[in-house]
Amino acid sequence: MVSGDTQMANAKTIEIKDDANLAIAMLIAEFDAGSYQPVAAVVSMNEAREIAASDLRGRMKQLERGEDPACPERYLLWAQDSDGSYRKVKELMP
């Protein structure tokens, strides 16, 4: 079994599993105009999916109340690579 750290180091050659420990990854909401908004720090893709779904539900509730929230085109998960830089590891569609 490959640990989360090893998976991140070898991410260019293997798929990162949904429950892999990504240390501190960032979930970002990206909007159609090219703008973005940080949503949360997460430790796995599973957690990112849960938080993205919760964030979108909250925005939909705002719409139902007649508010005008910004609704993301997609959510992006950025994680720290072995060299310390951050890179996009997954795109999550709302």
| pLDDT tens per residue, range 17-70 | 777 777 889 999 999 888 999 999 999 989 999 999 999 999 999 999 999 988
As a whole number of angstroms, the distance between CA 66 and CA 76 comes to: 27
pLDDT band at 78 (very low <50, low <70, confident <90, very high): very high
pTM of the model: 0.76
Judge whether 10 and 84 are in contact, CB under 8 Å: no
Interior angle at CA 70, CA 90 and CA 16, nearest 5? 10
The pLDDT tens digits for 7-31 are: 445 444 446 777 777 788 999 999 9
Amino acid at 6: T
Q: Are 37 and 56 within 8 A, CB to CB?
A: no
Distance of CA 72 to the CA centre of its chain: 12
